[in-house]
């Protein structure tokens, strides 16, 4: 027997038969007695990704409670269909299901059914109030601050709300990143951004990256000085997994990761940038989240703005606000970078938080001060009054005379990617290894003759 798709369900009959996965299940308490369960609420998803809410009222919990389990797949038939009302809705379906005594629930295989059914939205859309305040949505986030409970009670029934501050947190790989907002620190976070940048990552300078021979997470403090303009500044993405999709014509796209066609493929930022610090330069790739943090405009809205203005440009001027900006960049040196000698690094997080940058630089300065080597040709047996006559020459690592410590892998910015760099900084310098300062002390001619 064929199954009805969730999108086709209406109240016109009750003998629907659906094959679904339960992707959400919770117990709804009675309004005046939170300790007593009033109903079991579920979110069901079918093979097309359509979702609908279902309810098992209190009187039927004993009958159906053991048959439903979060994450399980079921064939459900002979249920009621009622309007999906209320202050908040778990799905945007017009209707929801209501279990009857005659409703039938059977186990089934999970072929073709989504594992999670998340309705992920970006912080950008939430902050711009582009999301319905009725429908429930999902975000990937970290709780970075918890406030005090707020008493919302109107009668004798206690009712409290707990304020939370969320930081956009993403599952990031070498191809992708999600979007929104600059980093903020919180002392209440057990896995704070301060830990990510200062404790859980290795501090580097750009000239050290090519010498790194093991996989690690790193942080550098650098300036964005240029773009690679011979590639697109965005890519069309799958709404479900955010990966790049291929256009097949006729308004259809194909997502390799999801292995299916998608009708709508919104653009997401992907910028190849040149960054520079006082040791050299390198190439980073910034994805949607990091760019939106600075621009405060989505790739979709920027593309629409360009089209509305009648501009025919391949690289929008609006991106220039990224130039000459200083950030802490957190990124991953992967085995692929090492094995393939691939010198482009995907940015996982950025921050322009002043306190965080100050802490990062202070730690680096402490390391440099402890990392001084003194090379001396002075005989320790020479009396102190003779040593005072000696002349000294201090060779600093930023002087031209320190040729022995120039990293051969690095070049001036003018030599980097001679095609495709849109803007360049006048302050480009040769890379030099700044990990150690060498102070060489030599005796003068008079001392040598003695």
Question: Does residue 249 share a domain with residue 101?
Answer: no
Identify whether residues 98 and 244 lie together within a single domain: no
Which has the minimum average pLDDT: 68-72, 210-214, 225-229, 406-410? 406-410
- Radius of gyration, alpha carbons of the chain: 30
What pLDDT was estimated at residue 123?
A: 81
Residue 427 has pLDDT above 50, yes or no: no
Decide if 182 is inside a domain: no
Burial class (CB in 10 A: 0-12, 13-18, 19+), 401: exposed
- CA dist 60 to 39, 104, 299, Å? 9, 12, 49
What are the strands, taking DSSP E only, across 302-381? Answer: 326-333, 344-351, 372-376
The answer to whether residues 341 and 225 belong to one domain is yes
Q: Is residue 103 part of a domain?
A: yes
* Higher-pLDDT residue of 276, 14: 276
pLDDT at 128 over 90: no
If asked whether residues 207 and 348 sit together in one domain, one would say yes
Residue 34: its pLDDT value, please?
79
Q: What is the pLDDT of residue 365?
A: 59
pLDDT top residue among 98 and 240: 98
Better-predicted residue by pLDDT, 321 or 196: 321
Choose between 252 and 192: higher pLDDT.
252
- Cβ within 8 Å of residue 204, ≥6 positions away: 212, 218, 219, 220
- Give the pLDDT score at 346: 92
Closest CA to 285 of 213, 337, 214: 337
Give the C-alpha separation, 355 to 187, whole Å: 13
Same domain, 102 and 197: no
Contacts of 401 (CB under 8 A, 6+ apart): 395
Distances (CA, A) of 428 to 281, 400, 405, 409, 432: 8, 15, 18, 15, 12
Residues 6+ apart with CB under 8 A from 389: 444, 446, 447
Residues 100 and 198 in one domain: no
Assigned domain for 197 exists = yes
Q: Average pLDDT for residues 115-138, to the nearest whole number?
A: 79
Q: Are 139 and 166 in contact (CB under 8 A)?
A: yes
The answer to whether residues 53 and 201 belong to one domain is no
Supply the pTM of this predicted model.
0.45
Residue 45, pLDDT > 90, answer yes
Phi and psi at 344, nearest 5°, equal: -105, 135
Average pLDDT of the chain is: 76
Of 42, 76, 107, the one marking the end of a domain is: 107
- Answer yes or no: is 24 within a domain: yes
In the predicted structure, residue 204 carries a pLDDT above the cut 90: yes
Average pLDDT over residues 85-102: 88
On the CB side of 54, CA atoms within 13 Å amount to 32
Same domain, 96 and 211: no
Helix (H, G, I), strand (E, B) or coil at 346: strand
Domain membership of residue 199 as a residue range? 193-363
For the stretch 279-333, pLDDT in tens is 999 999 999 988 988 888 889 889 888 888 887 778 899 999 999 999 999 999 9
Give the per-residue pLDDT at 414. Answer: 39
Which contiguous run of DSSP H or E holds residue 359? helix 354-370
- Of the segments 30-44, 353-367, 375-389, which one has the largest average pLDDT value? 30-44
Q: Examine residue 267 and state whether it is found in any structural domain, yes or no.
A: yes
Whether residue 373 is contained in a domain is answered as no
pLDDT value, residue 157: 67
Share of the chain above pLDDT 70, in %: 74
In this prediction, residues 229-236 reach a mean pLDDT of 90
One domain, residues 350 and 250: yes
> What integer is the mean pLDDT of 356-369?
72
Give the CATH number, domain containing residue 255. Answer: 2.40.50.140
23 vs 373: CA distance, rounded Å: 61
Rounded to an integer, the average pLDDT of 29-43 is 88
For residue 378, the model assigns a pLDDT of 38
In a domain, 314, yes or no: yes
Lowest mean pLDDT among 75-89, 191-205, 257-271, 289-303: 191-205
The rounded distance, in Å, linking the Cα atoms of 169 and 120 is: 12
- 45, part of any domain: yes
Q: Check whether 36 has a pLDDT greater than 80.
A: yes
Which of 72, 107, 142 is the C-terminal boundary of a domain?
107
- Residue 369: the pLDDT is 47
Which token pair is 189? Answer: 């976070």
Q: Out of 107, 137, 165, pick the residue that ends a domain.
A: 107
Say yes or no to pLDDT of 242 above 90.
no
Judged against a pLDDT cut of 60, whether residue 150 lies above it is answered with yes
Mean pLDDT of 225-239: 90
Quick one: pLDDT at residue 32?
Answer: 75
Percent with pLDDT over 90 in the chain: 32
CB 136 within 8 A of CB 117: no
Say if residue 102 is in the same domain as residue 201: no
| 199 in the same domain as 98 | no
Question: For helices 299-308 and 288-295, what crossing angle results, to 10°?
Answer: 60
- Out of 173-177, 250-254, 389-393, the most confident range is 250-254
The total number of structural domains that make up the chain:
2
Q: What is the pLDDT of residue 447?
A: 42
């Amino acid at each position: 027997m064929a199954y009805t798709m969730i999108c086709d369900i209406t109240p016109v009959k009750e003998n629907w038969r659906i094959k679904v996965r339960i992707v959400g299940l919770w117990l709804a308490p009675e309004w005046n007695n939170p300790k007593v369960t009033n109903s079991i609420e579920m979110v069901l998803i079918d093979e097309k990704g359509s979702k609908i809410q279902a309810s098992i009222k209190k009187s039927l919990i004993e009958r159906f409670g053991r048959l439903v389990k979060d994450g399980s797949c079921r064939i459900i038939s002979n249920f009621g269909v009622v309007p999906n009302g209320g202050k908040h809705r778990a799905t945007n379906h017009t209707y929801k299901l209501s279990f009857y005594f005659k409703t039938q629930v059977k186990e089934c295989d999970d072929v073709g059914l989504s594992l999670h059914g998340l309705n992920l939205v970006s912080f950008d859309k939430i902050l711009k109030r582009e999301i319905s305040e009725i429908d429930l949505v999902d975000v990937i986030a970290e709780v970075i601050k918890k406030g005090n409970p707020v008493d919302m009670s109107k009668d004798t029934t206690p009712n409290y709300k707990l304020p939370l501050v969320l930081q956009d947190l993403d599952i990031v790989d070498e191809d992708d990143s999600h979007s929104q907002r600059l980093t903020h620190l919180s002392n209440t976070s057990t896995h704070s951004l301060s830990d990510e940048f200062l404790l859980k990552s290795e501090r580097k300078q750009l000239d050290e990256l090519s010498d790194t021979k093991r996989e690690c997470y790193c942080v550098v403090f650098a300036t964005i000085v240029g773009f690679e303009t011979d590639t697109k500044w965005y890519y069309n993405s799958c709404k479900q997994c955010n990966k790049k999709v291929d256009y097949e014509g006729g308004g259809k796209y194909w997502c390799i990761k999801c292995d299916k066609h998608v009708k709508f493929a919104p653009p997401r930022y992907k910028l190849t940038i040149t960054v520079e610090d006082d040791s050299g330069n390198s190439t980073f790739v910034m994805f949607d989240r990091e760019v939106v943090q600075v621009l405060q405009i989505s790739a979709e809205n920027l593309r629409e703005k360009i089209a509305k203005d009648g501009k025919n440009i391949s690289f929008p001027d609006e991106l220039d606000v990224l130039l000459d900006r200083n950030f802490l960049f957190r990124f991953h040196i992967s085995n692929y970078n090492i094995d393939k000698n691939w010198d482009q690094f995907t940015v996982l997080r950025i921050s322009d938080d002043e306190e965080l940058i100050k802490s990062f630089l202070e730690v680096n300065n402490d390391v440099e001060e402890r990392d001084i080597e003194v090379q001396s040709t002075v005989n320790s047996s020479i009396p102190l009054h003779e040593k005072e006559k000696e002349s000294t020459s201090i060779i600093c690592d930023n002087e031209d005379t320190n040729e022995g410590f120039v990293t051969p892998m690095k070049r001036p910015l003018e030599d980097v990617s001679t095609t495709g760099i849109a803007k360049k900084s006048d302050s480009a310098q040769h890379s030099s290894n700044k990990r150690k300062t060498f102070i060489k002390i030599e005796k003068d001619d008079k001392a040598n003759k003695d």
